[in-house]
């Protein structure tokens, strides 16, 4: 039982390190997404989801799935194909950092 707290701290730290994207860099890389997902991650099309405020891991997993072809969408497949893991983490950090206000 005494190992529970240190292990939890290690896992929490690891999680932060693994997905430590840069939101400013992600914002700079987000222009290809703006047409459908809006400049600030709020969709401009009914068929495109809002990206603003989405969980970091969700955004990373979906972009990687589009890049690999595991998830299919003609436009997203093209946009995601050249993205590096760093690009994906930066984009995820940017969209995750956008605060969504519910009115």
**Chain mean pLDDT for the chain:** 87
Give a yes or no: residue 44 inside a domain: yes
Number of folded domains that form the chain:
1
Give a yes or no: residue 14 inside a domain: no
Give a yes or no: residue 38 inside a domain: yes
Can you give the pTM of this predicted structure?
0.80
Residue-wise pLDDT tens digits, 82-97 = 999 999 999 999 999 9
Q: What pLDDT shows up at residue 103?
A: 77
Q: What pLDDT shows up at residue 17?
A: 46
Residue-wise pLDDT tens digits, 16-57 = 445 679 999 999 999 999 999 999 999 989 999 999 999 999
Give a yes or no: residue 51 inside a domain: yes
* CATH code, domain carrying 77: 1.10.760.10
Structure tokens at 56: 């970091």
Q: Which domain holds residue 80?
A: 21-97
Give a yes or no: residue 15 inside a domain: no
Give a yes or no: residue 74 inside a domain: yes
In three-state form (DSSP H/G/I as H, E/B as E, the rest C), the secondary structure along 16-64 is HHHCCCCHHHHHHHCHHHHHHHCCCCCCCCCCCCCCCCCCHHHHHHHHH
CA 49 to chain CA centroid, nearest Å? 13
């Amino acid at each position: 039982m005494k190992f529970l707290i240190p292990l939890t701290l290690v896992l929490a730290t690891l999680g932060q390190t693994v997905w430590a994207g840069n939101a400013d860099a992600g914002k700079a890389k987000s222009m290809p997404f703006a047409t459908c997902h809006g400049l600030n991650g709020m969709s401009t099309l009914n068929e495109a989801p809002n990206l603003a405020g989405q969980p970091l891991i969700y955004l990373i997993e979906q972009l990687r799935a589009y890049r690999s072809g595991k998830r299919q969408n003609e436009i997203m497949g093209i946009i995601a194909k050249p993205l590096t893991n760093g690009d994906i983490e930066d984009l995820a950090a940017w969209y995750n950092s956008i605060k969504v206000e519910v009115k």
